[in-house]
Amino acid sequence: MAVALVSPDTVEVVDHWPEPVCGPDEVIVAVHGVGVCGSDLAVVSGRRAVPAHPWVIGHEAFGVIQTVGRDVTGRHVGQRVVVEPNYPCLACAACRSGDTSGCRRRRVVGISEPGLLAERVAVPAPFTWPVPATLDDTDAVCVEPFTVALNAVRMSGLRPGDPCLIVGAGAQGLLVILAVLHAGGAPHVIEPHPGRRAFALQLGAVDAGVTGAPETVFPAVIETSGVPEAFEQALERAGDGARVIVVGQSTRPARVPTFTLVQRRLTVRGCLIYDHPGGFRHTIATLAGHDLRPGRVLRERFDLAQAPVAFAKAPDIAGKTWITLPRIEETLT
C-alpha cells in the first residue's frame, strides 16, 4: 500500500502499489513513520507540481532495512534508519564545494522523486542513516525537519545568550525554537494563531507580539511561515547588522525597501534544507549527545488508513502531524 496524490487536493490510500526494486546501490526500507511537512501540503494543494498522478507523497521517514543491494556496504537487514530525502548529484561544482543544497540536479523526494509514504521504498544507501533503537519513534520522524532547523540557527550566527526572533510557529518554527534553545539563545516568537503561539510558549519561547511590551532588538531573525507579510515583519524587527534567515517560501512577492536593508546593514539569506552528508550526521550526533526530544512538537498521529484525513487536518493543527504504518510483525498477527 501507498498514499498517493491522485489529483490536486485528493489523497488516497492505494492498495497493491507496485513493490520497489532494489538497485545495486540501494536498500529497501520498510517504512514505520512519516511526518507531514508544509512542502507536502503544497504538493497536495497543487501549489507545487509533481511529474504525474497518482504520485506517492511524503519525505520525512524512518523505518527498518529489509533488503540490501549487492554493492552496498555498511548497511544490513534489520537496521533502523532515517531517510535523508534529498539526493544531490555529488559531481557538480556546488556538490564538490560541499554546497549540496545548491545542486541543480538534486532529486527531491516527494516532489521530483516518488515519496516515502508507502509500506516499502527503495532508497540510495548513502541517504539512509542508522539510528539506535533507543531513539524514540517521535524523535526519529523529526530528524529531517530538525536538521533544517539546526542549519537555520547555524546560518544565523546566533551566539549563546542572544535573543532570536522566530516568525511563524508552525511545525518548522517549533523545531527552530528547540534549536535556538540548544544553541544557548533566547527564542522569541511572533505567531497569530493562538494554538500555535501557546505551544511555542510551552516549549520555552517568549511572545514577541505582545502589544505594549518593550521591543527587543534581535541580532538574529528566522522566518519560517512563508507569508510575505511575515517576511516584511521579520525585517522590521531585525536589529542593525542582523542576520535574517528565510526558511518559509512563497511565490507571492514581499515588499522589501532597499533603504531598510542598506541603512540597517541587514544580511538576508535563504536557508534551503542542509548539506550532505554533514547535515544529517550533525543532527544524529546532536540527538545522541543531548536530551532535545524534537518529537515534542508532534501533536497528532494518524495510521496509514487515515492518511487522507491527516493531510486534510494538518494545516489547522497546532503542532506537527505524523502518520504511522503497520509493521511486518503487526500484519502477521
The cell for 151 is 542549519
| CA distance linking residue 246 with residue 234, whole number of Å | 9
The cell for 298 is 508532534
Tell me if residue 135 falls in helix, strand or coil.
Answer: coil
Which domains are seen in the chain, by residue range?
Answer: 2-136+293-331 (3.90.180.10), 146-270 (3.40.50.720)
The cell for 131 is 539510528
Question: For the chain, how far is it from start to end, CA to CA, in angstroms?
Answer: 18
What does each C-alpha distance from 57 to 22, 38, 207 come to in angstroms? Answer: 20, 12, 34
Q: CA nearest 121: which of 129, 130, 113, 111?
A: 113
User: Going residue by residue through the chain (333 aa), what tens digit of pLDDT does each one get?
Assistant: 999 999 999 999 999 999 999 999 999 999 999 999 999 999 999 999 999 999 999 999 999 999 999 999 999 999 999 999 999 999 999 999 999 999 999 999 999 999 999 999 999 999 999 999 999 999 999 999 999 999 999 999 999 999 999 999 999 999 999 999 999 999 999 999 999 999 999 999 999 987 656 678 899 999 999 999 999 999 999 999 999 999 999 999 999 999 999 999 999 999 999 999 999 999 999 999 999 999 999 999 999 999 999 999 999 999 999 999 998 654 433
**Residues 163/247/153/196 CA torsion (nearest 10 deg):** 50
**Residues 330/145/297/237 CA torsion (nearest 10 deg):** -170
What does each C-alpha distance from 171 to 108, 112, 188, 232 come to in angstroms? Answer: 20, 23, 15, 21
**In the beta sheet, which residues pair with residue 268?**
244
**Residue 118: exposed, middle, or buried by beta-carbon count in 10 A (0-12, 13-18, 19+)?**
buried
Q: State if pTM tops 0.75.
A: yes
Q: CA nearest 92: which of 84, 74, 104, 109?
A: 104
What does each C-alpha distance from 20 to 114, 123, 217, 223 come to in angstroms? Answer: 11, 10, 52, 38
Please count the other Cβ atoms lying within 10 Å of the Cβ belonging to residue 139.
20
- The alpha helices in the chain, defined as continuous H runs, are 38-45, 93-96, 137-140, 143-156, 171-182, 194-202, 228-237, 258-263, 278-289, 307-313, 328-331
Residue 209, pLDDT score: 87
**In the beta sheet, which residues pair with residue 26?**
124
Residue 57, pLDDT score: 98
Query: Which residue type, as a one-letter code, is found at position 194?
Result: P
- Rg of the chain over Cα atoms, rounded to whole angstroms, equals 20
Tell me if residue 181 falls in helix, strand or coil.
Answer: helix
Mode of pairing for the β-strands spanning 267-270 and 238-246: parallel
Q: CA nearest 176: which of 280, 275, 246?
A: 246
Category of 21 on φ-ψ map: left (φ > 0), alpha (ψ -120 to 50) or beta: beta
- DSSP class per residue in 16-78: TPPPPP--TTEEEEEEEEEE--HHHHHHHHTSS--SSSSEE---EEEEEEEEE-TT--S--TT
Please count the other Cβ atoms lying within 10 Å of the Cβ belonging to residue 188.
22
